[in-house]
């Protein structure tokens, strides 16, 4: 059988930084590939250059799979009309908004659509666990005390929330990041509660968590972790009401996006001094130097570093080559963009709800 043809549409930076040689060699083991160089748009925006779209339409004839990333025009019905053989479209990094893929047009043609933005979700889940462990012991307050010149031999136990072992952890968001966090939490034998209206009901039984309401996460959990995506529906969804539900002695961690939380309300809640927060994100970013959050002793801050792995290349293309390999070998793909994923990102009601 003829080897499948893969076309990668992206800018020079993505070509240089996202496509490591070792992964290109893996792709070449089962497919022929080419690069369509294009510049414009951004992480969550398509290239609007009409000439680029026309040129891509000319290149797509005979292509079996198209991979898009920063710089690519939107793959719409007009382009798809020229793609008689196309069976697969993959987005490398689009924050799952699919700005570069007209999903309805692709689905109407029976084209598989996948997204590997979750390549950055897994390291964020690791840092979520790190912030939980730092926060349950209020390590930030003790570190502040040491660097200020106060160096006791033992921490002040009255300011510690204690151990993570056996605690009830509430997770807001059950996507790739949330599910990876669940795996990392299992050795601590915690009780996991999850709120995510887009999750299939059977997933709770399959993965061993209790699916519950937003209010119960805030009012009944020892640790509350936000790993939800920023969408029109989630922007500002954690405000004064929700923060006031948090019980004394509890921990709040946010590694997703700062704008999901009302920053002023969060500062006011933390100033009461009876809860601890671990924050990798804040609104706005970077945090203004005069913001009160910086000086609160019961807060541990990091500058939106959860995604970083220290590797030469991000892991988006690794996952995409895995998907292409599975697809052309006749297996099911893992990271499909579906009507449920689309509804989640647009803030619409889940399909069938």
Q: What is the mean pLDDT of the chain?
A: 94
Same domain, 188 and 164: yes
Q: Would residue 352 count as lying in a domain?
A: no
Same domain, 251 and 219: yes
Please tell me which residue, 130 or 342, carries the higher pLDDT value. 130
Q: Would residue 327 count as lying in a domain?
A: yes
Q: Would residue 329 count as lying in a domain?
A: yes
Same domain, 60 and 44: yes
pLDDT at 35: 98
Q: Would residue 341 count as lying in a domain?
A: yes
Measured CA to CA, the distance from residue 134 to residue 149 in angstroms comes to: 21
Q: In whole angstroms, what separates CA 44 from the centre of its chain?
A: 13
Q: Please give the average per-residue pLDDT across 323-330, as a whole number.
A: 98
Q: Would residue 223 count as lying in a domain?
A: yes
Residue 203 CB burial class (10 angstroms; 0-12, 13-18, ≥19): middle
Q: Would residue 33 count as lying in a domain?
A: yes
Measured CA to CA, the distance from residue 237 to residue 265 in angstroms comes to: 12
> Over 60: is that where the pLDDT of 121 sits?
yes
Measured CA to CA, the distance from residue 181 to residue 184 in angstroms comes to: 5
Q: Helix, strand, or coil here: 238?
A: strand
Q: Residue 155 carries which DSSP code?
A: -
Which residues are CB-contacts of 47 (< 8 A; sequence separation ≥ 6)? Answer: 38, 39, 40, 41, 53, 71, 72, 73, 74
pLDDT at 1: 66
Report the C-alpha dihedral over residues 77, 81, 84, 87, rounded to 10 degrees.
Answer: 0
Measured CA to CA, the distance from residue 129 to residue 59 in angstroms comes to: 45
What pairs with residue 114 in β-bridges?
A: 90, 336
Same domain, 288 and 164: yes
> Over 70: is that where the pLDDT of 295 sits?
yes
The CA distances from residue 69 to 76, 140, 233, in Å, are 15, 38, 25
Same domain, 133 and 273: yes
**pLDDT tens figures, 246-292:** 999 999 999 999 999 999 999 999 999 999 999 999 999 999 999 99
Q: Helix, strand, or coil here: 142?
A: helix
> What's the domain count of the chain?
2
Same domain, 85 and 129: no
Q: Are 326 and 332 in contact (CB under 8 A)?
A: yes
Same domain, 19 and 165: no
Site of tokens 């209020």: 138
Which residues are CB-contacts of 99 (< 8 A; sequence separation ≥ 6)? Answer: 41, 44, 45, 46, 74
**Token couple for 87:** 């069976």
> Over 80: is that where the pLDDT of 233 sits?
yes
Which residues constitute the domain of residue 88?
Answer: 5-115+315-346
Is the torsion defined by CA of 202, 330, 333, 111 positive or negative? negative
Q: Residue 217 carries which DSSP code?
A: H
Measured CA to CA, the distance from residue 349 to residue 117 in angstroms comes to: 22
Q: Would residue 310 count as lying in a domain?
A: no
Same domain, 191 and 154: yes
pTM above 0.75, yes or no: yes
Q: Are 173 and 233 in contact (CB under 8 A)?
A: no
CATH of the domain at 233: 3.40.50.720
Same domain, 295 and 330: no
**pLDDT tens figures, 158-184:** 465 689 999 999 999 999 999 999 999
Same domain, 245 and 271: yes
Q: Are 147 and 125 in contact (CB under 8 A)?
A: no
Find the farthest-apart pair of alpha carbons in the chain and give their distance in angstroms, rounded. 72
Same domain, 267 and 183: yes
**Token couple for 304:** 């939106």
Measured in residues, the chain has a length of 353
Q: How far apart are the first and last CA of the chain?
A: 43
Same domain, 131 and 224: yes
Q: Would residue 45 count as lying in a domain?
A: yes
């Amino acid at each position: 059988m003829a080897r499948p043809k893969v076309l990668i549409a992206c800018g020079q930076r993505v070509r240089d930084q996202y496509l490591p040689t070792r992964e290109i060699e893996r792709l070449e083991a089962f497919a022929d590939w080419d690069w369509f160089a294009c510049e414009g748009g951004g992480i969550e925006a398509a290239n609007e250059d009409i000439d680029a779209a026309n040129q891509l339409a000319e290149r797509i004839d005979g292509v079996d799979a198209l991979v898009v990333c920063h710089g690519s025009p939107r793959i719409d019905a007009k382009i798809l009309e020229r793609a008689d053989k196309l069976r697969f479209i993959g987005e490398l990094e689009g924050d799952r908004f699919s700005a570069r893929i007209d999903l309805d047009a692709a689905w109407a043609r029976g084209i598989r659509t996948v997204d590997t933005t979750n390549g950055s979700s897994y390291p964020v889940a690791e840092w979520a666990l790190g912030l939980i462990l730092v926060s349950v012991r209020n390590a930030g307050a003790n570190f502040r005390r040491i660097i200020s010149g106060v160096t006791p031999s033992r921490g002040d136990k009255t300011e510690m929330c204690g151990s993570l072992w056996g605690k009830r952890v509430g997770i807001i968001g059950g996507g790739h990041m949330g599910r990876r966090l669940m795996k990392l939490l299992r050795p601590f034998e915690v009780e996991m509660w999850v709120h995510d209206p887009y999750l299939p009901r059977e997933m709770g039984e399959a993965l061993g968590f209790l699916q519950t309401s937003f209010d119960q996460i805030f009012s009944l959990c020892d640790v509350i972790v936000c790993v939800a995506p920023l969408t029109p529906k989630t922007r500002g969804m954690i405000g004064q009401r929700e923060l006031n539900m948090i019980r004394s002695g509890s921990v709040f961690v946010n590694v997703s996006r700062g704008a999901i939380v009302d920053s002023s309300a969060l500062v006011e809640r933390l100033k009461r001094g009876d809860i601890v927060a671990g924050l990798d994100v804040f609104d706005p970013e970077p945090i203004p130097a005069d913001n009160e959050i910086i000086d609160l002793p019961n807060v541990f801050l990091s500058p939106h570093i959860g995604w970083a792995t220290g590797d030469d290349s991000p892991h988006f293309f690794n996952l995409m080559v895995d998907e292409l390999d599975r697809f052309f070998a006749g297996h099911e793909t893992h990271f499909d963009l579906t009507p449920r994923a689309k509804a989640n990102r647009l803030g619409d009601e889940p399909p069938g709800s």
